[in-house]
Structure 1
Amino acid sequence: MNPERTIDVVVIGGGQAGLAMSRCLSSQSIDHVVLERGDTANSWRTERWDSLRLLTPNWLARLPGWSYQGDDPDGYMSATDVAGYLDAYRASIDAPVHCGVEVTRIIGTGGRHVVDTNDGPWSARAVVMATGACSNPHLPAIAGDMPIHIDHITPIRYRNPSQLGDGGVLVVGASASGLQIADELSRSGRDVTLAVGDHVRLPRTYRGMDIHWWMDTIGQLDERYDDVDDLERARRLASIQLIGSPERRDLDLTTVAAYGVTLTGRLVGRSGHRAQFSGSFANMCTSADLKQRRLLDRLDEYAATHGLNAELAESTRPNPTTSAPPLLETDLRSIDTIVWATGFRPIYPWLDTSLLDHKGRLIHDGGVLPLAGLYVLGLPFMRRRKSSFLDGVGRDAAELADHLVGHLAYDLTRSRN
């Protein structure tokens, strides 16, 4: 075990957020280390299914001082590609990453923070938690009330259809992950039921351009956390129903229903061997279709206002969601596996609970915690809508690095006085 080491900043996490922060700190000559429990881009190597690709096109993979240099800018990187991309980024910035280091506790004392690890403690003037938002799958309480014969799996443990038993599959959650997994399982010949709650539907491309090109162009992805009326709701917003595929195909409820997926409303309970679903399915779909139509109207208006109509394809709108009448119940005896695609809840077991709210969520203002010298990076809509994207985490890192440098300067001035 190493003795306590002293440094200006400890960054926890060696993924895109931690590496982006390392680059920003290095550019300001701030002495720091990056502590990573596995290897660089650990979650991309160990917690992604085989067919997964980014939802954003490759040209949007932009980090501080680094961008995509491959020959397929309009494609979508696989998880393996992203890991390689981040490995190259780490090498290019010579990030001081310490791999295989697990953080066990952070204690604030005397203006410093002691970071305890399995490799000994670090004493730092500031700590940046950059462990991401997708490390701890959220399972609703009803998961514990399912029959004992059913296997449970989450998206970070799912790899491919061969991993599951031969019986039916219930996928709970119809955002990007749940919809993609339901689609893959159905195409493999599985009997799949998809429980649908609130969701966001958009086409993969519109008028010949990727939907993320549109959102980048109109500035929606840059909308800031201090400019929205209901930030808590914005941070809970489900990921868009999209898939990154070579053919740039759409993926929505109508698509998966056409391939045999049985659609239901939100899973709300169990009675004996029957799973029960909400009757709000139609309303959920109507709401998603309405929001999609409003956004596409906005895109058309932007194109007309900025003289882009001549350069773009004609407007072809997706049809409203259609499917067979949704089930209100299903027989759990026919289900071998439930895939819980019900989102994630970041956890910080090394932190004092006073830094968490009554729901266990981290208290922060755009990544700045109430305890001086503590920061978080990489959460959804942390400072802007694209905060958790490769293209967004870098700008957040730069802003937090500036705040952190100010903190260090103030701390130094105060200690001298």
Structure 2
Amino acid sequence: MTRTVPRHVPVAVIGGGQAGLSMSWHLKQAGIDHVVFEKHRAGHAWRDQRWDSFCLVTPNWQCLLPGHPYAGDDPHGFMLKDEIVAYVEDYVRSFSPPLREGLGVDRLSRLGGRFLLETAEGAITADAVVLAVGGYHTPFVPRIAERLPEGVVQIHSAAYRNPDQLPEGAVMVVGSGQSGCQIAEDLHLAGRKVHLVVGSAPRCPRVYRGRDAVDWLADLGQYDLPVSEHPLKEKVRRKANHYLTGRDGGRDIDLRRFAAEGMRLHGRLDDVAGGRIRFRDDLAQNLDAADAVYNGICALIDRHVEDNAIAAPPPSRYEPVWRPDGFQESLDPVAEGIAAIVWCTGFRPNWSWVDLPIFDGNGYPTHERGVTAMPGVFTLGLPWLWTWGSGRFVGVGRDAEYLRARIAEHLSAAELRATG
């Protein structure tokens, strides 16, 4: 939606995804004047940076944006891409936030006692700012890609849409996080010859002992566990998400089964030299580690079932259906008929437009539950901002509610200083 933006706003919310919209809902409920700035359209990432068969990996019942819980007839299903976009668009219509689409913030800095937002429509000041732009900004492709043969088409997962988009021939998918595994499956189901470069991402069961694992983990409080109480503390923010899928009603992703069906699995990418792609000898280790996490989650659920005398089907343990037979150190992509590579190597944050002293040595915003060290600057929607649910539909609203109270305190203190 298009709206005129005043030259000064009490609160500027930068980003119109689920985080920024959740923040707007809580601010509007509290009667706090604000504007949400969105460079593209609300829900841009879901609409424009996902492949055609994309769906949520968490059940629909976890879609709990503030004031807008899932209201469909399939709470244990998994929204498809277009349904996710519709959910976000319905959310916007449900409370008419002060949303300015098509207007991004090019630079954010401090100007006296206020914050200065530089936009294509001029400068705007604010008393408080919420950075609700998430942590996945710039598609990352390693420089090693520059040494691949020129005839091999290369795209990032953010640009992948479907198998027909790629030239005929085999496809190498680099990365085995959620995107990598799901794109590899998409290509595999389409009958393409797939080479998958496997990293250290863990895996999770889809259904165990008669229920979706997400349901069990929610009962166990895993989505509510704050970073401060997690065994890894701050390091958990750098952990890869577990891979599984909601496709076709939801199922495990078992890379060993894919291999038994003809997918070629490789260890991590090590180098490209002399026209050959070289791999590390860690495939077996990576598969075993992912299975150990899978079985560990099952064991956690087993203890919960036993401790609470819950009637459930008997326990089980995953046993490998395929194991690597030797180590292929390298391959020639041209000789193997590899026509394309899909880089599922994630994103890098880009906070270069924020000219404020709120970052640590790695360029990550320093904060405590979204409250940065600089009064009046808040961040929302980051993975593990506060809990595992922080970067998801299920937990972002709770974080926004907490920040609403902190923002109100900041505005009240600023008003007292101005009148004192």
With normalisation by structure 1, the TM-score equals 0.95
Whether the aligned pair in 2 keeps the contact of 1:275 and 1:329 (CA below 8 Å) is yes
Instruction: Find out whether 1:369 has 2:369 as its counterpart.
Output: no
Q: Residue type of the partner of 1:86?
A: V
Q: Which residue of 2 aligns with 1:234?
A: 236
Whether the aligned pair in 2 keeps the contact of 1:15 and 1:41 (CA below 8 Å) is yes
Secondary structure of residue in 1 paired with 2:381: coil
Q: Which residue of 2 aligns with 1:332?
A: 333
Q: Which residue of 1 aligns with 2:47?
A: 45
Instruction: Measure how far apart 1:135 and its partner are.
Output: 3.5
Whether the aligned pair in 1 keeps the contact of 2:170 and 2:192 (CA below 8 Å) is yes
Instruction: Measure how far apart 1:321 and its partner are.
Output: 6.0
Deviates more, 1:135-144 or 1:164-173: 135-144
Q: Structure 2 vs 1, CA of residues 196 and 232 (structure 1 numbering), >3 Å: closer, same or farther? A: farther
Secondary structure of residue in 1 paired with 2:196: strand
Query: Of residues 21, 24, 44 in structure 2, which corresponds to 1:22?
Result: 24
Instruction: Find out whether 1:224 has 2:218 as its counterpart.
Output: no
Instruction: Measure how far apart 1:322 and its partner are.
Output: 2.5
Instruction: Measure how far apart 1:220 and its partner are.
Output: 0.8
Q: Which residue of 2 aligns with 1:390?
A: 393
Query: Of residues 401, 406, 410 in structure 1, which corresponds to 2:404?
Result: 401
Query: Of residues 94, 97, 101 in structure 1, which corresponds to 2:96?
Result: 94
Whether the aligned pair in 2 keeps the contact of 1:202 and 1:242 (CA below 8 Å) is yes
CA distance in 2, matches of 1:186, 1:294: 28
With normalisation by structure 2, the TM-score equals 0.94
Whether the aligned pair in 2 keeps the contact of 1:277 and 1:328 (CA below 8 Å) is yes
Q: Which residue of 2 aligns with 1:414?
A: 417
CA distance in 2, matches of 1:6, 1:289: 54
CA distance in 1, matches of 2:5, 2:56: 41
* Superposition misfits of 4+ residues, deviation over 4 angstroms: none
Q: Which residue of 2 aligns with 1:104?
A: 106
Q: Which residue of 1 aligns with 2:202?
A: 200
Whether the aligned pair in 2 keeps the contact of 1:3 and 1:121 (CA below 8 Å) is no
Secondary structure of residue in 1 paired with 2:25: helix
Q: Residue type of the partner of 1:327?
A: Q
Instruction: Measure how far apart 1:353 and its partner are.
Output: 6.7
Using the aligned pairs only, state the percent identity.
38
Q: Which residue of 1 aligns with 2:299?
A: 297
Q: Which residue of 2 aligns with 1:248?
A: 250
Instruction: Measure how far apart 1:369 and its partner are.
Output: 2.1
Q: Which residue of 2 aligns with 1:317?
A: 317
Q: Which residue of 2 aligns with 1:269?
A: 271
Whether the aligned pair in 2 keeps the contact of 1:4 and 1:120 (CA below 8 Å) is no
Question: What do residues 119-171 of structure 1 show as CA deviations (whole Å, max 9, x unaligned)?
Answer: 22221111111122334222223223323222221121100001111132111
Query: Of residues 268, 283, 286 in structure 2, which corresponds to 1:284?
Result: 286
CA distance in 1, matches of 2:86, 2:56: 14
Deviates more, 1:159-168 or 1:331-340: 331-340
Q: Structure 2 vs 1, CA of residues 405 and 246 (structure 1 numbering), >3 Å: closer, same or farther? A: same
Gaps of 5+ in 1: none
Aligned length: 415
Whether the aligned pair in 1 keeps the contact of 2:370 and 2:380 (CA below 8 Å) is yes
> For the aligned residues, what is the CA RMSD?
1.9
